[in-house]
Amino acid sequence: MRTKLALALLLAYPTVLWAENWPSLRGPAFNGTSTETNLPNQWSRTENIAWKADLPGPSAATPIIWGDHVFVSSTNLEDDSLWALCLRRTDGKLAWKQEIGKGIRRDTRSTFAAPSPVTDGNVVVFFYGNGPMVAFDFDGKEVWRRNIVEEFGEFAFMWTFSSSPVMYDGKLFLQVLQRDTPVSGRGFADKPNDSYLLAMNPQTGKTLWRYVRPSEAQQESREAFTTPVPIEYNGKKQLLVIGGDDLTSHDLETGAELFRWGTWNPQRIGHWRHVPSPIAGDGIVLVCAPKRDPIYAIKLGSSGKLDDNAVAWVSDEERDVSSDVPTPAFYDGDFIVLSDVRKKLMRIEPATGQVKWAVETPGREKFEASPTVADGKIYIVNFNGDVVVFDANDGSMVHQVSMSEASENPVRSSIVVSQGQLFIRTNDALYCVGAK
């Protein structure tokens, strides 16, 4: 009887089989993709919208989703405060909100609410660029709280620190890759500022280990706004970290380095702050050099300090492949690269770097939010909140729609896929696109 009922439900609601959570910044596989199908590809601000939820202020944080819970990090412009929000996925209504602290920014380019929250289905962890890290249960009750700045010192960044936490293999990870000397009065003046990786117990917040990551980079090149990326390769689980002129891989149990590569800045240029996180696929890790410089493809499988023998290929002028801010995605065996500086979207073969197709992004506004890929479609959004959908097979444009009015706060949050719906964050609202 139970078997027949279960089969009937599956036949009646086949999309349940492919329903997937979006638990962290770059999704369930840490690569900007989802296995969801039957996703929307036509909508407006009023058509094919399940709900719209007003938000109290801007933030570059990407919403995360677990079941019927939508977690959003936000500012509140009315009282200059930072908030952790939970919305109901079914209708967008506010389930709970918690104030984290006062003061939302130190510069005009970002806010302290830029890091995205993360969840393992038991607790949700919010982190903010001025130091607070707070975990809640799904009912909004605070589970634990700590302040990274109070424990280890103010972040030595020219701009606002915005790396997002990551959960993997039962651990919570945070990276802080910063200058060794103070900048604009931030950071220790009487001793070096360590760059480090921090592993914590997500249920208690207790430190499991702290690994100090060395670097020969100079000045701003030590600063990284990247987020660690967990991978498993040849049966070995590890954490990829990029910044300070180097790509490193780290053991999950101790933080110890498994390999290090960094031959791309031999002159030690001092203004190469790093923004795109690493992305792995098909035995290759893509490393996007800053500004308009090339992309490097690093072969996985070696250990220790690597030289140029580890480089599978480097993009050249002919391929014209680069990305200064967006993190690429890995989808259906290929890398999807969005270049904010060259205004291009490309599909690239991992082993050779061959560009299968390349198209120009429309309009004059920059696309800095990282691309999201699912159901054969690529979703990107620009500073003005204009969303463009491309066919992942040939790069043809499927849909273009404006989801926001122009604002002094650029839209930088990536589009999220979950439960057959799209979630699009602008400066003042979160849209759920698809059937109610």
8 Å CB contact between 372 and 414: yes
8 Å CB contact between 27 and 327: no
How far is residue 195's CA from residue 223's CA, in Å, rounded to a whole number? 9
How far is residue 211's CA from residue 214's CA, in Å, rounded to a whole number? 9
CATH code of 44's domain = 2.130.10.10
Q: Which residues pair with 94 in a beta bridge?
A: 87
* Other CB atoms within 10 A of residue 38 CB: 12
How far is residue 94's CA from residue 403's CA, in Å, rounded to a whole number? 21
Q: Tell me: the pLDDT tens digits for 354-379?
A: 999 999 999 999 999 999 999 999 99
How far is residue 158's CA from residue 130's CA, in Å, rounded to a whole number? 13
Q: What is the mean pLDDT of the chain?
A: 93
Judged against a pLDDT cut of 70, whether residue 3 lies above it is answered with no
How far is residue 120's CA from residue 423's CA, in Å, rounded to a whole number? 19
Q: Which residues pair with 243 in a beta bridge?
A: 246
Count of domains for the chain: 1
Element (H, E) at 152: helix 148-152
pTM beyond 0.85, yes or no: yes
Length of the chain: 436
Q: Tell me: the pLDDT tens digits for 168-205?
A: 999 999 999 999 999 988 999 999 999 999 999 999 99
pLDDT-derived band at 110 (thresholds 50, 70, 90) equals confident
Judged against a pLDDT cut of 50, whether residue 146 lies above it is answered with yes
DSSP secondary structure code for residue 245 in this structure: T
Q: Which two tokens stand for residue 282?
A: 């098909």
DSSP secondary structure code for residue 33 in this structure: B
Element (H, E) at 3: helix 2-12
Range of the domain at 425: 2-433
pLDDT-derived band at 15 (thresholds 50, 70, 90) equals very low
Q: Tell me: the pLDDT tens digits for 238-255?
A: 999 999 999 999 999 999
